[in-house]
Amino acid sequence: MNWTWFYKLGSPKWFYDTANKLLPWFLWIGVSFLLVGSVWGLAFAPQDYQQGNSFRIIYLHVPTAILAQSCYMMMAVAAVISLVWKMKLADMFIASAAPIGAAFTFLALFTGAVWGKPTWGTWWVWDARLTAMLVLLFLYFGVISLRSALENIDLASRASAILVLVGVVNIPIIKYSVEWWNTLHQPATFTLTEKPAMPPEMWLPLLVMVVGMYCFFAAISLMRIRNEILQRERRTKWVQKLISEESKF
Amino acid sequence: MNFDDFSDFLLMDGHALYVWLSYGMGLFIILLTYIQPVLARKSIIQELSQRQRREAKASETSAVETESTHENKGAC
């Protein structure tokens, strides 16, 4: 296998140029999928016979919740790479993704609460799935505050990578909480092994939203990583050159 | 379309508050997560270019200073 791509990933300049090329694609595909998925889910998908129209929150709630956990798993992979190979970009990813993950987790909790009110009759219960999601939010806050508290960048990257890895325990708890414990939360809508229980005109817009959310996540994390690169590599010649070119306009 | 007309769509059969509150927050979070790095990039570029100009000026003046001291020495 050819491993040059892995070494290239270690070069911030190469990554910056690649991010510049990929960013518009991710952004436009993400935004258009989210737009199409929302209109489809809100106006055209059939009503749920039990929940009525409040079920339409699923098209926002499920993609954000998936991303909230996915983002954490990606940060965990980055944490291993950052600890083992000391790759700067892995650490920049952790720094960039933590605020996005926090925002998405908050949105998943918020839409869940708003959906819970008409469906379960309550905004919040301290059950396994919901509490584990709240723990996830605090893990993201922990990473963010650890990074801003530690001035030394090497120390900050090591400490946050370790915190991310410790918190990984929470992810299977979120995933299997609906099976292990009695909970108000319904089981997963999508599984890789079984066909969805919904008709296609209900789950297709959901799939569009999930893909859109992944692309949007990719776009905004690339934007954040770009910013991290500019700041941390500001002493290098290529950033100096880029800055003098950018500031002319 | 699953609804009879636009007002029917907005009312969501009595679930309007829940549906639109969720999607409103969704839009807010998406805009926020997009705008934040755009603004950050602007301020980083501004800060770095200011620093660049300051350093360029500093090295210019120091170069002039060393030149003038050389001239003084020559005069002596």
ipTM comes to 0.87
Of A42, A204, A209, A54, which Cα lies nearest the Cα of B3?
A42
- CB atoms B52 and A243 under 8 Å: yes
What dihedral angle (degrees, nearest 10) is formed by the CA atoms of A120, A123, A125, A129?
80
Rounded to the nearest integer, the mean pLDDT of chain B is: 82
Domain map (residue ranges) of chain A: 22-190+212-222
Position B70 scores a pLDDT of 56
- Residue A48 has phi, psi (to 5 degrees) of -80, 135
Residues of chain A found within 8 Å of residue B51, distances taken between Cβ atoms: 234
- CB atoms A230 and B18 under 8 Å: no
- CB atoms A54 and B18 under 8 Å: yes
pLDDT at position B73 over 80: no
- CB atoms B29 and A104 under 8 Å: yes
Q: State the pLDDT confidence band at A83, using cuts at 50, 70 and 90.
A: very high
Nearest-angstrom CA–CA distance, A108 and A134: 10
- Alpha carbon of B6: minimum distance to chain A alpha carbons (Å): 9
- CB atoms A111 and B26 under 8 Å: yes
Residues within 8 A of B (CB atoms), A 201-240 only:
216, 220, 223-224, 226-227, 230-231, 234, 239-240
Position B75 scores a pLDDT of 47
Nearest-angstrom CA–CA distance, A152 and A131: 33
Rounded to the nearest integer, the mean pLDDT of chain A is: 89
DSSP codes joined into one string, A59-112: HHHHHHHHHHHHHHHHHHHHHHHHHHH--HHHHHHHHHHHHHHHHHHHHHHHHH
Q: Are B9 and A43 in contact (CB under 8 A)?
A: yes
- Alpha carbon of B55: minimum distance to chain A alpha carbons (Å): 12
Residues of chain A found within 8 Å of residue B29, distances taken between Cβ atoms: 103-104, 106-107
Tokens of B17: 């508050």
- CB atoms A220 and B12 under 8 Å: no
- Alpha carbon of A2: minimum distance to chain B alpha carbons (Å): 34
Which of A192-196, A198-202, B53-57 is predicted with the least confidence, judged by mean pLDDT? A192-196
What pTM, to 2 d.p., does this model score?
0.88
pLDDT at position A229 over 90: yes
Residues of chain B found within 8 Å of residue A114, distances taken between Cβ atoms: 18, 21-22, 25
pLDDT at position A100 over 70: yes
- CB atoms A118 and B18 under 8 Å: yes
Nearest-angstrom CA–CA distance, A7 and B61: 42
Nearest-angstrom CA–CA distance, A8 and A6: 5
- CB atoms B22 and A57 under 8 Å: yes
Nearest-angstrom CA–CA distance, A229 and A18: 13
Position A90 scores a pLDDT of 93
Give pLDDT tens digits for A120-157: 888 888 888 889 999 999 999 999 999 999 989 899 99
Q: Counting one residue from A and one from B, how many pairs have CB atoms under 8 Å apart? A: 101
